[in-house]
A and B are shown apart, each in its own frame.
Chain A
Amino acid sequence: MALLEVKDLKVRVEEREILHGLTLTVNEGEVHAIMGPNGSGKSTLSHVIAGKPGYEVTDGQILFKGEDLLEMDPEERAAKGVFLAFQYPVEIPGVATMTFLRTALNAQRKARGESEYSTPDFLKKVREVSKSLNIPQDMLKRGVNVGFSGGEKKRNEVLQMALFEPSLCILDEMDSGLDIDALRIAADGVNALRSPGRAMVVITHYQRLLNYIVPDFVHVMSKGRVVKSGDKELALELEASGYTQFEDAA
């Protein structure tokens, strides 16, 4: 059984159809890149998979481990192992990062019927992961993402990914707003989380990110559909020739 099956998905936002029948299958252990020009529906796909309100699915389905994902609330999806790394992680003043991490992790564990993490185990785990991502401890005491640089915000997303151990990670425009050094640190963090039991969907406008997170498959989206799929060579081809050819194809 595939980990994620998106079948002929049609999605509207405020009466305007954004996805016009999108199909995508992701198996465990695979890394898929979804590329496409602005407005092709990449972020819409990530939002619909995560359960963001404001999107109306008019047709098609999304199965996650064989279950109907669209029937689940966002928090249920998270507990089942869906993780969206946000393009623009929000700032939450007054909620300490550490409190947020523990509350979220324990909420997911509780939903799965697992016991809550003990404080020492939790702290140990956070320390290990944050060290590898070059996240200073005092950052964890601050409000979630408050005053974080673009790179710090993205590293905080990767930190959560490492803590929550999801089986499907969707990285939405992870490279936006990052310089090369920040990108490398975040990408190294992501690569460390690649494993046979975990799949990733990397959404990006530019090929650059895929030099660091090398995908198994590349899909080109245009006007709300996947118009071409291939291996990592497709990304290089796109880099050379641009998206225009596919806009015509769609």
Chain B
Amino acid sequence: MNVAVAKTGGGRAVSDLFASAEGRLPGSPAVIAARREAFEAYERLGLPHRRLEEWKYTDLRALVGEVLPLAASPDAAALKRAAEAVKAHAIEGARKLVLVDGIFAADLSDVKAFAPEVSVGTLREILANEANPAAGDLLQTASTDAVISLNAAMATDGVVVSVADGAQLAAPIQIIHVATTAGASAFTRSHLRIGKATRVTVIESFVAAGKTGGYHVNDAVILWIGDDADVAHIRLMDDAPDAVNVTSQFVTVGANVKLNFFNMTTGAAVSRLQGFITLAGEGSELLANGVNLLQKTEHGDTTLVVDHAVPNCVSREIFRAVIDDRAHSVFQGRIIVRPDAQKTDGKMMTRALLLSDEAEADNKPELEIFADDVSCGHGATAGALDDSLLFYLKARGLPEKQAQALLIQAFVGEAIEQIADDGLREHVIGIAERWLERRS
């Protein structure tokens, strides 16, 4: 294996990618300079590969090969198809913010319907504002991960939402990413600032407008949560079967916050959600749960790094993967407890259910503990459906697939039941049911 060749190959593709896109990327000259720096950082590394510890189980270079060119701005026909997809995936009662092929679609969004405590802008307009010297900051993160550098270089749009202190939002905010075109990449970056003592539900949905074929999504979310907030954050990734979705989330949590995060993966040929959650204020409680439902040759990776930077926080992770056919699920969970973070209580449990002999699960829980008065633990299991349970159900009249479906629902239910809102929980259960129906 010649590393240099692979790298050069990756680098050339990106150079073309950037050169052909540069004229369409929003930003003042200063922002464009920051972008160029970001893609140079990307070029030096190329797509992540298995020799990088963080990407050991998800070798993007092997799985994806090259990055597809930047998607064109959606035309009227694309927006029309996107509208259908939005209709199908809208959560009842939610206020929608829609991004189509990486561009904010005002006409499909409910900007005017938002409560007065919510301000909504777009990344594009902020980056393009030459009078704003700090605009380029929106493209900065602390990460050196190549896919995040690539996102900074290429991000065409995203939503920038701010919820005022004290706001109690009855309606969830739903950000819907719609892909309409095969053979193209969408790069989005959103900033969500949730004020102190608020109550907010944020839902993110990734969907395709009909049978699109393969496309790439590279999304980044920077979420900041103020003290005493109560936040539910649900991400539903149901991209097209040939799609690639790589999403990076940076979450900073204040003091006495309750954050209930849930991710569901039911789509995309290759996907990775990498979440970097920092508990930066004392007394906060984090639930970070997820379900991967994978079939055929799908590869789904959930990587969560929970950083206890301060004392007295609780984190709980419950992750479930159901893997059929030749699919491959990856769960990497790392809990970091910083030297000052005494009285940390952090636990994660990951379980994989293998439905075929060729299904594969990699579970990698890690604890990095630098404080001495903590309670942390993790567990990981992988196995098949229990034959004695299957026989019991069949002996009561359930056909094999139906018996399996009931047991699979129970298996993922342990994670799904952590969703507090009845309606959203039922919605997610419905997604799992439809996945099971597709299977049989």
Contacts and interface: CB of A to CB of B under 8 A. Distances in A.
Interface of A: 50-53, 73-75, 77-79, 84, 86, 89-90, 92-95, 99-100, 103-105, 107-108, 111, 143, 160, 164
Contact of A50 (B386, B395, B406, B410): B395
A107 to B, nearest CB: 4
Nearest to A93: B410
A75 B397 contact: yes
B422 to A, nearest CB: 15
A50 B393 CA distance: 12
Contacts of A103: 398, 402, 406
Given A53-B387, A104-B397, A104-B398, A86 B392 contact: yes
B370 interface: no
Provide the main secondary structure of the chain A interface.
helix
A75 B392 contact: no
B339 interface: no
A78 B392 contact: no
A107 B397 contact: yes
Given A74-B391, A103-B402, A92 B397 contact: no
B396 interface: yes
B391 A78 contact: no
Contact of B397 (A53, A94, A95, A108): A108
B13 interface: no
A178 to B, nearest CB: 19
A94 B410 contact: yes
Contact of A51 (B389, B394, B398, B402): B394
Q: Interface centre among B392, B397, B414, by most A CB within 10 Å?
A: B397
Nearest to A99: B406
Given A89-B392, A92-B392, A164 B413 contact: no
Contacts of A95: 406-407, 409-410
Contacts of A94: 409-411, 413-414
A164 B395 contact: no
A50 B396 CA distance: 10
Contacts of B410: 92-95, 143
Nearest to A95: B410
22 contacts: A51-B394, A52-B391, A52-B395, A73-B394, A75-B398, A75-B403, A78-B394, A78-B396, A89-B392, A92-B389, A92-B392, A92-B410, A94-B409, A94-B411, A99-B406, A100-B396, A100-B406, A103-B398, A104-B398, A107-B398, A160-B396, A164-B397
Interface in B363-404: 386-389, 391-400, 402-403
Contacts of A164: 396-397
Contacts of A92: 389, 392-393, 407, 410
Contacts of B411: 94
A79 B399 CA distance: 10
Interface string B396-432: 1111101100110111011000000000000000000
B399 A75 contact: yes
Given A86-B392, A90-B388, 18 more contacts: A51-B394, A53-B391, A73-B400, A74-B395, A75-B394, A75-B398, A75-B403, A84-B395, A86-B395, A90-B389, A92-B407, A94-B413, A95-B410, A103-B406, A104-B396, A107-B397, A107-B402, A143-B410
Interface residues of B, number: 23
Contacts of B391: 52-53, 74
A79 B396 CA distance: 8
A73 B396 CA distance: 11
A78 B399 contact: no
A187 B407 CA distance: 30
Contacts of B399: 73, 75, 107, 111
B387 A104 contact: no
B285 to A, nearest CB: 24
Nearest to B417: A94
B391 to A, nearest CB: 6
A108 B406 CA distance: 15
A44 to B, nearest CB: 14
A90 B386 CA distance: 10
A99 B137 CA distance: 52
A106 B87 CA distance: 33
Contacts of B396: 75, 78, 100, 104, 107-108, 160, 164
A50 B398 CA distance: 13
B419 to A, nearest CB: 15
Contacts of A90: 386, 388-389, 392
A44 B216 CA distance: 56
A66 to B, nearest CB: 21
Given A93-B410, A95-B406, A103-B406, A78 B397 contact: yes
Interface in B61-78: none
Contacts of A78: 394-397
A90 B389 CA distance: 6
B394 A111 contact: no
A108 B403 CA distance: 13
Contacts of A53: 387, 391
Contacts of B400: 73, 75
The 9 closest A-B pairs by CB, nearest first: A94-B410, A108-B397, A78-B397, A104-B396, A74-B394, A107-B397, A94-B413, A90-B392, A95-B410
A203 to B, nearest CB: 15
Interface in B226-267: none
Nearest to A84: B395
